[in-house]
Structure 1
């Protein structure tokens, strides 16, 4: 392993540990004040941040980044204001640190309680979206954790500008600037050093494509909170309202195609009365449809789907479409191809909806709602670290509570174990 990278991450980890210890003992008011100051700094330095982002966009376009990736990378005044407002929203959330999860009393008089505490030092490895720099920093600080951020090379200038403003805001409010650190190099060796920094980093959170997550899961010696592909499904049941079906299919796919909550596969019950208006609306809106023979027979603009299409996160205006035999057929398809991120049913039949909600094993399941609501902000959690698709620790949008663990507190009156 590259010793320079190992030394760098070890030093950053030591500073982060010191900052995390300080944060863990700070009251909610101090952390909130630090975040409000960081948000103010983001606004004050908006011109510099947007100029840095323009450099990244220019470089990305010259290097052939796809339209979807450029959209993820791009900042404008509205998106930057959204990031600053998101930091302020986190500052206003209920602080989970110190919350008592439950209590119990033993027959011998011991009083037990489980209390939420910070995890410690979080390492976040992410791609494309520079707003993650502010979102992740805010969530980690408010939950009492220090964070080491390693963004993608395509957003290097944007990340540095956002981090610099954020850290200055924290320091101005009296919080340790080392609570939020950005790895200063785009060398991939730094990622490897983070993954093996057991003892310096307590949890790794990858946010990016399949290759990044696969590398993290393969190489990590630190616990990982994984976010896999967003292969999300919308299922239109035979009892779906036709107008609602069109509205939700369009929104779930096309509102923003480059986010992980975008629907990538549309499933339609063979018993649904008229699928053609749904498919026409999508095709007319510029969405490329890829489907089986039955779908092609309904909407001639549909291209043939390959086996790979059902397992592809397009992040583009492309949608795979299949006809299925009722809710059981939809659930069987989802079980084979879903990434366990977000899957939705459109139906007016409550019993069918409950069958879907109970039977689909995904982090988020929805009834009569667009999959694009799969977002921490939309769930009232403020910003999010990501959507966890595993089954342990945290699942779905990971926000403040997901960045804490707990300890047992035992209060006695002199009991000695016999």
Structure 2
């Protein structure tokens, strides 16, 4: 068995210092310089795919020895096609508008001072994530395009893959104007190295955890650095009494089965009692067709053969599978109250032809994304039309929802005068 314990001795504070130092020249680069760097990285990744796959095989071997689940192994697996997808993702980021330097507002005061509010990079981003090697590339591309240095701390199960990808990125950056030190990777499996990252406030401007609930909770609870909290998705669809049957069934199946293991996938259906009474046969048929295991309340268990009696934990569960919680509700207010109690403020949807009900749901439900007659699978930077994302924020400061390039910037007031003083 390959040994990954402390595979590399690292000095996390020194890496953070280097990232901060590299950030200044990076923040001054032109959009063209940054785009050219991303294109160079993309080309280098495609060129070095065999090396990346060879190192990925080491992670896969360890995963098999540890009996990782098949879904986990699939996320970990790299192929030539997947590496090509990474590269094309960087090319897509290169085509996106650069937010750095955008003038958000401008005005002139009575005393002649000209005030501009502009976008500037955050500085140094600490990215903490689990076994998804694609995040190494995606996060790096978004950080560099928005003028930020990045410190990457991936999960130990993808250590060899991530080390290989970062080494290729570094070789590519040597050919560009972006400092190599702008991309740091903590190549250690020591938990203390990760926890040290949480406290280096003098070097790191923001932490972004991306992964399961326990990872996010650990970062939020232990960090002394501001955290952009990407959220667990206990996603609900409320089927109103006036929901169109075809729309409801199509949305439910898409939101649940399109990619069950992602955070914007449906986990709980709240069904109005009248709609369920009128359409339960077609709903049951669809759920059976897609092999969905129902965890239902007492009424649902009586009506749906093979369903399981839901426990309290089922209403809060992010299954990330073909399991689905189903609850019958008396009215829209009961649905909203249920979401308020169990939701994670990620993505919520109502299916109805009643505009008044839709408006009430959209106004009262507190979530990063709220839908009317559409699948929750659209909570995604690419799907919503602004390119790639570094994660989906479920908090309210300073970004919420899918976080693309603008979310990786902050603002600066530039005030231009001609000798004005305040009396």
In the alignment, which residue of structure 2 is the partner of 1:201?
Answer: 204
In the alignment, which residue of structure 1 is the partner of 2:21?
Answer: 18
1:328-350 Cα shifts (integer Å, max 9, x gaps):
22211111101001111222223
Q: Could you state the TM-score of these two structures normalised by the residue count of structure 1?
A: 0.95
Residues of 2 paired with 1:290 and 1:58: CA distance?
35
Q: In the alignment, is the contact (CA less than 8 A) between 2:294 and 2:307 conserved in 1?
A: yes
For structure 1, which segment, 399-408 or 377-386, has the greater mean C-alpha deviation from structure 2 after superposition? Answer: 377-386
Q: Could you state the TM-score of these two structures normalised by the residue count of structure 2?
A: 0.94
Q: In the alignment, is the contact (CA less than 8 A) between 1:271 and 1:326 conserved in 2?
A: no
Partner of residue 134 from structure 1, selected from 125, 137, 142: 137
Residues of 2 paired with 1:280 and 1:76: CA distance?
37
Is 1:304 aligned to residue 298 of structure 2? no
Is 1:377 aligned to residue 376 of structure 2? no
Is 1:392 aligned to residue 388 of structure 2? no
1:99-158 Cα shifts (integer Å, max 9, x gaps):
011112222221111111001110000002111001100000000000000000111122
How far apart are 1:327 and its partner, in Å? 2.2
In the alignment, which residue of structure 2 is the partner of 1:236?
Answer: 239
For structure 1, which segment, 404-413 or 348-357, has the greater mean C-alpha deviation from structure 2 after superposition? Answer: 348-357
Partner of residue 217 from structure 1, selected from 220, 223, 228: 220
Is 1:41 aligned to residue 44 of structure 2? yes
Change (3 A) 1:230 1:199: same
Instruction: Name the SS for the 1:172 alignment partner.
Output: coil
In the alignment, which residue of structure 2 is the partner of 1:275?
Answer: 280
Change (3 A) 1:51 1:370: farther
How far apart are 1:238 and its partner, in Å? 1.9
Partner of residue 95 from structure 2, selected from 88, 92, 109: 92
In the alignment, which residue of structure 2 is the partner of 1:334?
Answer: 339
Instruction: Name the SS for the 2:189 alignment partner.
Output: coil
Residues of 1 paired with 2:287 and 2:144: CA distance?
42
Residues of 2 paired with 1:236 and 1:198: CA distance?
46
Residues of 1 paired with 2:338 and 2:70: CA distance?
29
Structure 1 segment 37-76 matched on structure 2, within 5 A: 37-76=40-79
In the alignment, which residue of structure 2 is the partner of 1:317?
Answer: 322
Residues of 1 paired with 2:48 and 2:339: CA distance?
45
Instruction: Name the SS for the 1:345 alignment partner.
Output: strand
How far apart are 1:60 and its partner, in Å? 1.9
1:183-202 Cα shifts (integer Å, max 9, x gaps):
11121111111001011111
Q: In the alignment, is the contact (CA less than 8 A) between 2:9 and 2:188 conserved in 1?
A: no
Instruction: Name the SS for the 2:396 alignment partner.
Output: coil
Instruction: Name the SS for the 1:206 alignment partner.
Output: strand
For structure 1, which segment, 140-149 or 182-191, has the greater mean C-alpha deviation from structure 2 after superposition? Answer: 182-191
Partner of residue 30 from structure 2, selected from 13, 27, 42: 27
Instruction: Name the SS for the 1:274 alignment partner.
Output: helix
Q: In the alignment, is the contact (CA less than 8 A) between 2:154 and 2:162 conserved in 1?
A: yes
In the alignment, which residue of structure 1 is the partner of 2:267?
Answer: 264
Change (3 A) 1:234 1:51: farther
In the alignment, which residue of structure 2 is the partner of 1:367?
Answer: 372
Change (3 A) 1:122 1:377: same
Instruction: Name the SS for the 1:275 alignment partner.
Output: helix
Change (3 A) 1:307 1:275: same
In the alignment, which residue of structure 2 is the partner of 1:288?
Answer: 293
Q: In the alignment, is the contact (CA less than 8 A) between 1:276 and 1:298 conserved in 2?
A: no
Partner of residue 195 from structure 2, selected from 192, 196, 203: 192
Instruction: Name the SS for the 2:270 alignment partner.
Output: strand
* Divergent runs of 4+, >6 A: none
1:295-352 Cα shifts (integer Å, max 9, x gaps):
1122112111110011111111111111112322221111110100111122222332
Q: Structure 2: where are the runs of 5+ without partners?
A: 1-7
Change (3 A) 1:279 1:176: farther
Residues of 2 paired with 1:80 and 1:148: CA distance?
21
Residues of 2 paired with 1:20 and 1:178: CA distance?
9
Residues of 1 paired with 2:194 and 2:92: CA distance?
30
Q: Structure 1: where are the runs of 5+ without partners?
A: none
Structure 1 segment 105-144 matched on structure 2, within 5 A: 105-144=108-147
Change (3 A) 1:102 1:155: same
Cα RMSD of the aligned pairs, angstroms, is 1.7
Q: In the alignment, is the contact (CA less than 8 A) between 1:283 and 1:289 conserved in 2?
A: no
Change (3 A) 1:93 1:349: same
Instruction: Name the SS for the 1:405 alignment partner.
Output: strand
Change (3 A) 1:45 1:276: farther
How far apart are 1:7 and its partner, in Å? 7.4
